[in-house]
Structure 1
Amino acid sequence: MEGRNITSIDVFILMGVTNLPWLQKLLFTLTLSFYLLNVFGNTVIISLVFQDISLHSPMYYLLANLSFVDICFSSVTVPKMMVGFWKENTISLEGCITQMYFFHFLGCTEGVLLASMGYDRYIAICHPLRYSAIMGKMICVQFVIISWFIGLTTSLVHAIMTSKLIFCNSNKIMHFFCDVKPVIRLACVDIHLNEAVLTNVLGFLSTSTFVFTIVSYVFIILNLVKIRSSHGRSKAFSTCSSHLSVVILFYGTAMCTYLGPSTKNTIEKDRLAALLFTVFTPAMNPVIYTLRNQEVKKSIKKLLVRSSICSVKAE
């Protein structure tokens, strides 16, 4: 009997964000709106970077990769979450581990990409004459490959360790997707090693990339102080203010979630933080880059002009 109980759980129930029907409908509408904004906005940025030759630079190549990651990152969790607003949301053990893997894979990749973009801005502002030599096409490609490789390997550790656990306590995951913390709490074996690896690996990765990005901006600010022209300062800072806003949004929520032990209270807070960095932040990234970046604005205007000309000719 004990053996059957231990091996019986192969389907989990995602408990979602709330049990209140009116709030579920409201959250469904908001989540769908942000998700569509995410897909549309990031697709526009990717299209602009590939079509507009003025955006063929390392900064925008990294931005296009970030936009692609943002679309995939939300797509791993948001569609499944929206199903849960209308009916009982179940997921198989294999599906749960797969979702967990891709979520952390894309999340870690985004963190390293943001650090790479911070370094790019540091070189552009502090060493403008050497920018082309330092941030060549191959270096940019290497940054992207490293980002994806770190995401692939880091997430694989958590997925493998979680798949080795035996689940028998409950099949109700107190979250709207299969994140590591709420899933491993359902195991009927010791999970201290899993928690330690989660905190140390993700803690080290998020903290190191965040510190690396902040150090880049410290040097950028010190360099901006030396610029005598106020117009020159504002122009230089405008090129990196968008990136800094995205960094604060992403790391602020992610570090609050994973730098600490998992308890019943922290799981509730983690669920709210996860809503921000899976739904809100990816949708805000293209908005921030569009509103705060003059080159992207110009590219959008050119695209609109071309579209209007084509429509007139078609008529």
Structure 2
Amino acid sequence: MVQGRMALHNGSLVTEFVLLGLTQQPELQLPLFLLSLGIYVVSMLGNLGLTVLIGLNPHLHTPMYYFLFHLSFIDLCYSSVITPRMLMSFLNQNTIPYAECMAQLFFFAFFAIDECCVLTFMAYDRYVAICKPLLYRVIMSYQVCFMMTVGVYAVGFVGAMAHTGCMLRLTFCGSNVINHYVCDIPPLLRLSCSSTSINEAVMFIVVGVNVIGPSLIIFISYILILSNIFSIHSRKGRSKAFHTCSSHIIAVSFFFGSAALMYLKPSPAEALDQGKISSVFYTIMEPMMNPFIYSLRNKDVHIALKKTLKKRISA
């Protein structure tokens, strides 16, 4: 009764939602549960390991690894906001209270926007390192990197507040079944009994600013980087420059490509089903892959790992 009153106070007749999850096919529930659990464990270990490794090794305290530290931290939190609730849906625990759904929406948006911004600043860092190497320490000073990081979390907070605030003003009085495994904006808008025009405008503005804007900045950065690389006469120098950027290009393509498929299109029922599948890539797979993308071919990370392991063994 108290919960019902609370929901009414927030302008909603719905006290809880039902998350349909990734699939409704019973034979797929257990295999997908085990697969998702494995991905989550690997994601947690990989991102936590990378943050600890960067924190413990002074020679990794450079702008490039400073942003990678925050990317791993964001992925750690991002996975924890989404995957546990997704795992519960595979065990037929599909209900989520109204307040918890809104909280999940806020943190989901917050960390997704943070990731967009960090990936953008990492592209700018690579641009400065390759195109302006003599000014690198001045342009990417500790103070500048710190202000960039503050900007990342500030933009994430403002964007998440915009989405969540607009969602809280809506009335949900009909179906409470969300065709997704997370409280995301498009499937929630389909359940509203009130006008969603403001929400849709805010979604396209915020998502456009945080997907199209960063994509353009990253694209321009790499156009300038490539023009600089092709002017390098040494084959070894070109190869080193390409190697420096390849990991970031893979991560950016994976994240921005799947996010754009989910949000920057109309959302009829079939599009939501397709979007649900594409969202798996940037909500579940991408946080797991980032530690591998940035560490498998990275000599600095390999050296830091060996040093850390030697210290722990000798201790």
Question: What is the TM-score when the length of structure 2 is the normalising length?
Answer: 0.94
* Paired residues of 1:41 and 1:287 also in contact (CA < 8 A): yes
Displacement over 3 Å in runs of 4+: none
Aligned partner letter, 2:273: E
Q: Quote how far apart the aligned CAs of 1:167 are.
A: 0.5
Q: Quote how far apart the aligned CAs of 1:301 are.
A: 2.1
**Match for residue 121 of structure 2?**
116
Matched, 1:58 2:66: no
Match of 1:82 among 82, 87, 90: 87
In the alignment of these two chains, the number of paired residues is: 306
> Structure 2 regions of 5+ residues with no counterpart?
1-7
The separation in 1 between residues aligned to 2:220 and 2:212, in whole angstroms, is 12
**Match for residue 101 of structure 1?**
106
Q: Quote how far apart the aligned CAs of 1:92 are.
A: 1.1
Q: Quote how far apart the aligned CAs of 1:201 are.
A: 1.9
Match of 1:142 among 132, 147, 159: 147
Matched, 1:182 2:216: no
**Match for residue 296 of structure 1?**
301
Alignment of 1:147-226 (within 5 A): 147-226=152-231
Q: Quote how far apart the aligned CAs of 1:34 are.
A: 1.0
Aligned partner letter, 1:123: V
> Structure 1 regions of 5+ residues with no counterpart?
311-315
**Match for residue 5 of structure 2?**
none
* Paired residues of 2:12 and 2:170 also in contact (CA < 8 A): no
**Match for residue 70 of structure 1?**
75
The separation in 2 between residues aligned to 1:180 and 1:93, in whole angstroms, is 14
Q: Percent identity at matched positions?
A: 38
Matched, 1:260 2:265: yes
RMSD: 1.3
Matched, 1:30 2:4: no
* Paired residues of 2:166 and 2:198 also in contact (CA < 8 A): no
Matched, 1:247 2:252: yes
Q: Structure 1 residues 231 and 187 mapped into 2: Cα distance closer, same or farther (>3 Å)? A: same
Q: Quote how far apart the aligned CAs of 1:204 are.
A: 2.5
Q: Quote how far apart the aligned CAs of 1:199 are.
A: 1.5
Q: Secondary structure at the match of 2:18?
A: strand
Q: Secondary structure at the match of 2:296?
A: helix
Match of 1:228 among 233, 243, 248: 233
Segment drifting more, 117-126 vs 236-245: 236-245
Aligned partner letter, 2:64: M
The separation in 2 between residues aligned to 1:304 and 1:130, in whole angstroms, is 35
Superposed CA offset, 1:65-103 (max 9, x none) = 000000101111100110110123111111111100100
Q: Quote how far apart the aligned CAs of 1:7 are.
A: 4.8
* Paired residues of 2:13 and 2:171 also in contact (CA < 8 A): no
The separation in 2 between residues aligned to 1:27 and 1:74, in whole angstroms, is 16
Question: What is the TM-score when the length of structure 1 is the normalising length?
Answer: 0.94
Q: Quote how far apart the aligned CAs of 1:54 are.
A: 1.1
The separation in 1 between residues aligned to 2:143 and 2:65, in whole angstroms, is 14
* Paired residues of 1:100 and 1:159 also in contact (CA < 8 A): yes
Aligned partner letter, 2:137: S
Q: Quote how far apart the aligned CAs of 1:273 are.
A: 1.3
Match of 1:271 among 272, 276, 279: 276
The separation in 2 between residues aligned to 1:220 and 1:306, in whole angstroms, is 38
Q: Secondary structure at the match of 1:216?
A: helix
Segment drifting more, 190-199 vs 151-160: 190-199
Matched, 1:133 2:138: yes
Q: Secondary structure at the match of 2:266?
A: coil
The separation in 2 between residues aligned to 1:54 and 1:83, in whole angstroms, is 41
The separation in 2 between residues aligned to 1:171 and 1:83, in whole angstroms, is 18
